[in-house]
Structure 1
Amino acid sequence: MNINVRKLVADNKAFLFFVAGMILMRSAFADWYVVPSSSMYPHLLEGDRVIANRIAYDIRVPFTDVILKQVGEPQRGDIVTFSSPADGLRLIKRVIGLPGDVVEMRDQKLIINGQAADYAQIDEPDPSFLTPKREYPNQQLMYTESLGSLHHNIIVMPERSALRSFDAVTVPAGHYMMLGDNRDNSNDSRFYGFVKRELITGRVKRLMFSLDYDNYYLPRIERIGAKLDQ
């Protein structure tokens, strides 16, 4: 038996080194995740496979989330992966509040450090970037949210019960506030609180590929290797 194992390893040495290298690369440099929900529509769709740059902010011990050195800081507007403070699940959201920021929301509108975001409605949004009808068949509205140099689209669902307002809160040192772009359909910092910096595991700027769950799992050709419009 041992002889067969040794022969198997010897005959497939190059392939095994390749697999080991891919595992090491995924652990230390660039990971990939399946987007499981619609909480980040219209930017991330269900079925997207995203690439997370694990060295965007920190260098970590391979196969762990232990930080060896900080090399960058998350910025407002970054789309990041992180471990949920509630249950440890890996999530993907947008950084909205930085350490020291005072953040509040009034009737869906963000106010950060006393500056209110501007909202411009998109009259005819592409239906493929709205929450799938099988999940939410009612009205959806898309807006461009602008605050300083930050500009991105969000979705709201006027007929859905959701948390659209909260009082001013100060983001503690070493923590960040995360929100989903699909504001009325996202489990984010409004529910589980601020996210410690060490829980942030990477920045997402590009897709690997995407499968359309509502169209026989066919690939979305236009999203293969696409850079995210953040």
Structure 2
Amino acid sequence: MRLVRVAGDSMSPSYRSADLLLTRSVGPAGVRRGDVTVFRHGGLRLIKRVVGMPADLVELQAGRLFVNGEPVDGSPRSRGAYTQTWLVPGGSYFMAGDNASVSDDSRVWDQPFVAADSIETVVARRLLWPRHLRGFTPGRRTAAVDRVA
């Protein structure tokens, strides 16, 4: 188990900036669609949701994601809208933040896929802290807490 602190609003409203999350190792089972993961991409440590699995067809149409023809958020398709598509290669994943308007994720990256070996942990749960302590990080424990965007 490992603690990480969220920095930024890309996973809002699920997780907000300064939330403290308990994560677990990926393990032999790997990750599943819908898991929120902490991973390395482009030299940064990020937190995003797994949207596309290996061999999935991911489509972005009018700002909405579809995986294998099914809407991620339940929204219907827009007639005549431009559609961008990706076929997720083996051993890779397509990642998206829950807050699409501010998330820097697979939808906009030049290299949109995250290799399985780049995934460090999966979020197990958010730790609840009193509001007045949310910005507080104990001096001796800062080494155990990573900031992820």
Shift of the 39–113 alpha-carbon distance from structure 1 to 2, 3 Å rule, reads same
1:170-181 correspondence runs (5 A): 170-181=87-98
Shift of the 33–114 alpha-carbon distance from structure 1 to 2, 3 Å rule, reads same
Percent of residue pairs bearing the same amino acid type: 33
Q: Of 195, 199, 202, which aligns to 2:121?
A: 202
Which residue identity is paired with 1:80? T
Distance 1:111 1:181 in 2: 14
Q: Of 108, 112, 121, which aligns to 2:63?
A: 108
Deviation at 1:110, TM superposition (A): 1.7
1:60-71 correspondence runs (5 A): 71=28
Distance 2:9 2:129 in 1: 14
1:21-100 correspondence runs (5 A): 30-54=1-25, 57-58=26-27, 71-84=28-41, 86-87=42-43, 89-100=44-55
Contact 1:47 1:211 (C-alpha < 8 Å) held by counterparts:
no
Which residue identity is paired with 1:104? E
1:219 aligned to 2:136?
A: no
Structure 2 stretches of 5 or more lacking a match?
A: 77-81, 135-149
Shift of the 112–209 alpha-carbon distance from structure 1 to 2, 3 Å rule, reads same
Deviation at 1:200, TM superposition (A): 0.5
Contact 1:209 1:219 (C-alpha < 8 Å) held by counterparts:
no
Which residue identity is paired with 1:219? L
1:10-25 correspondence runs (5 A): none
Query: How many pairs does the alignment contain?
Result: 126
TM, length-normalised to structure 2: 0.77
Contact 1:47 1:210 (C-alpha < 8 Å) held by counterparts:
no
Deviation at 1:90, TM superposition (A): 1.4
1:119 aligned to 2:75?
A: yes
Distance 2:68 2:114 in 1: 19
Contact 1:48 1:211 (C-alpha < 8 Å) held by counterparts:
no
The alignment yields a C-alpha RMSD, in angstroms, of 2.0
Larger C-alpha radius of gyration, 1 or 2? 1
Deviation at 1:190, TM superposition (A): 1.9
Q: Deviations over 1:193-220 (max 9, x none)?
A: 10000011111021234475xxxxx136
Helix, strand or coil for the counterpart of 1:191? Answer: coil
Helix, strand or coil for the counterpart of 2:38? Answer: strand
Structure 1 stretches of 5 or more lacking a match?
A: 1-29, 59-70, 121-164, 213-217, 221-230
TM, length-normalised to structure 1: 0.51
Distance 1:45 1:92 in 2: 11
